[in-house]
Amino acid sequence: MGWNDIGYTSTDISKATTFLSSLAERGVKLTRYYTQPSCTPSRATIMTGKWAYRNGFQNYELQHGDAVGVPLSNQLLPSYLSDLGYATHGLGKWNIGHCNSKYLPHERGFDHFIGYLCPGHGYRDFNCGLSAGVRDMIEGFATTEDSGAVSYSWATGEQYQGTYDTLLYRDKAVVAVKKHSTFTSDKPFFLWMAHHGMHSEEDSEPEPPNDLLTQDNLEYIKVLEKRVSDTDGEDEDTKRFFKMRKITATVLMSVDNAVRALCEALEEEDMMQNSVIFVNSDNGGDVLYTKVFKSYFITPTDFFS
């Protein structure tokens, strides 16, 4: 998700993230938020609080079979919060190491984590990208016994296969909020909701089910579909551009509505008034767009100024 993908700054899909735009209008816009160029460096920075080069991750995108991870000498964000008494829940993308169990998220500070470890995967089949030949979804738990000892367990996410992952994370986030309100409300609460969407239109089956779309979304999709049909007779790059922008918009709609559901759950459980919601993209927009970006919207000079 890049600068031109969030509704209030987008030049071409401004109605894709109406809820996130409303949050921004009511909140603080971090207009000088800069990030790393790809997933692993960015996530390593967020989780450690250190520049990526401090751990050797400045130019590294961790793949499914890589025998490396953010060094265990680093205490990670959820671990710090756990030490402060927080209940900690993680959803979505990890991508900073899974070479053995000690590098998995539930052993690095999360009480509960469900998500994937590779750079990307299929939205429904969870097939890891780059023809890796593996499915990528796990669920892990860290359980604290009465004695204070912590036990760890995890399993594959096979039971969730076939569920569009944004829908899965939406529902798991809402459940986590409601369970916290019911059973552990004496603790502060941390939820890391690292959506796969908007990762890539190239990951398999990116378009969301109607369960994740509103009527307004469906009407806007018709507008975007007409824009695609209007490119008949144009060159292939132009056609591909508008088709991808339509897919981008629909994926962003699903994320937008998942965040809306989370906020509604916080409101219902009287937790919103004591919550901070921070929305960010781990790295910038898709470079596949730059080929025709200048022709149809704004120049690179305008875009980056």
Lowest-confidence region among 22-31, 32-41, 206-215, 238-247: 32-41
pLDDT for residue 277: 96
Torsions phi, psi of 139, nearest 5? -135, 125
What rounded mean pLDDT belongs to the chain? Answer: 90
Contact 210, 254 (CB under 8 A): no
Is residue 210 in some structural domain?
A: yes
Q: How confident is the model at residue 304 (pLDDT cuts 50, 70, 90)?
A: very low
Residue 33, token pair as written in the block: 């938020």
Q: What does the DSSP assignment read for 69-96?
A: BS-TTSPPHHHHHHHTT-EEEEEEE--S
Res 148 pLDDT > 80: yes
What integer is the mean pLDDT of 160-168? 97
Classify 103 in phi/psi space as left (phi over 0), alpha (psi -120 to 50) or beta. alpha
Residue 217, token pair as written in the block: 């979304």
The model's pLDDT over 171-188, given as tens digits with 9 standing for 90+, comes to 999 999 999 999 999 999
Q: How much of the chain exceeds pLDDT 90, in percent? A: 71
Q: How confident is the model at residue 33 (pLDDT cuts 50, 70, 90)?
A: confident
The model's pLDDT over 104-115, given as tens digits with 9 standing for 90+, comes to 999 999 999 999
Q: How many domains does the chain have?
A: 1
What integer is the mean pLDDT of 114-134? 89
Is residue 241 in some structural domain?
A: yes
Q: How far is CA 62 from CA 74, 111, 207, in A?
A: 17, 24, 26
Is residue 304 in some structural domain?
A: no
Res 29 pLDDT > 60: yes
Is residue 305 in some structural domain?
A: no
pTM equals 0.91
The whole-angstrom separation of Cα 262 and Cα 265 is 5
* Residues forming a β-bridge with 128: 121
Contact 37, 241 (CB under 8 A): no
- Domain span at residue 99 reads 3-299
- The CATH number given to whatever domain includes residue 283 is 3.40.720.10
Query: CA 113, 118, 123 angle in degrees (round to 5)?
Result: 80
Q: Is 188 helix (H, G, I), strand (E, B) or coil?
A: coil
Q: How confident is the model at residue 87 (pLDDT cuts 50, 70, 90)?
A: very high
Res 300 pLDDT > 50: no
Is residue 49 in some structural domain?
A: yes
Res 264 pLDDT > 70: yes
Is residue 181 in some structural domain?
A: yes
What integer is the mean pLDDT of 222-236? 90
Torsions phi, psi of 226, nearest 5? -65, -40
Residues in Cβ contact with 17 at an 8 Å cutoff, skipping those fewer than 6 apart? 5, 6, 7, 10, 252, 253, 255, 256
